[in-house]
Amino acid sequence: MKQAQFIERRKENRLPFNDKVIFTDGQKSVTAYAVNISRGGVFVMSLDPFPIDTQIVCAFCLPGQASSFCVKGKVAHIVFDRQRCEVENGMGLMFLELDESQKSTLNLHILNQQSAYLELKKLLLAERPAASEIARCLKKIPTLSPTSDLLSLRYRVNRICTIFEPSPIEVAEAADRKTA
């Protein structure tokens, strides 16, 4: 059996993000929930997505920020799969114009989330991690809902942390460069 090849075209890693996003194409305004966010854009759940390349303006708030983001963007891709209920339907909104302050704030948010996930992953390596330490870490990651199921939490945290690691292809290429 031939192994499926998936080509990742995103330039930035995505992190879970669960908050309302309000966006408009100038004629229709929509409120939807985001699924993930990166330095390059946000994915929102929608059963009625705008067409690809539709120019939009979106507004959302990052956790812990007093002011909201208001950003120009466009619909970069659409996911609509009627057959698989486990797949979130929606659209990827690519940011087109972020000012330096917005870039800095978004970058800081992503770096803080990455650090919090890595701290929690390290904590979860213990056979019986302290519940108080888990609770402390979870406060830093509002999109990760607390659970009493340690196995599920370990899986979700490890799954998210894989995006911070180099891909097997990148590792192999680096090894080839060292030996060349």
The backbone region for 124, taken as left when phi is positive above 0, alpha when psi lies in -120 to 50, beta otherwise, is: alpha
| pLDDT reported for residue 1 | 42
What average pLDDT does range 30-54 have in this prediction?
92
- From the list 50, 42, 46, the residue with the least C-alpha distance to 26 is 50
Which residues, 6+ apart, have CB-to-CB distance to 106 below 8 Å? 37, 39, 62, 69, 98
pLDDT in tens, 117-141: 999 999 999 999 998 999 899 988 8
CA distances from 120 to 20, 135, 137, 151 (A): 26, 10, 6, 13
| pLDDT reported for residue 75 | 95
What average pLDDT does range 152-162 have in this prediction?
90
Query: Taking 60 as the threshold, does the pLDDT of residue 95 lie above it?
Result: yes
Distance (Å, whole) CA 154 – CA 29: 38
Question: Across the chain, what does the average pLDDT equal?
Answer: 85
Using pLDDT thresholds of 50, 70 and 90, give the confidence band for residue 9. low
Query: Taking 80 as the threshold, does the pLDDT of residue 37 lie above it?
Result: yes
Query: Taking 60 as the threshold, does the pLDDT of residue 167 lie above it?
Result: yes
| pLDDT reported for residue 4 | 46
Q: Which residue has the higher pLDDT, 146 or 94?
A: 94
Q: What is the pTM of this model?
A: 0.78
| pLDDT reported for residue 67 | 82
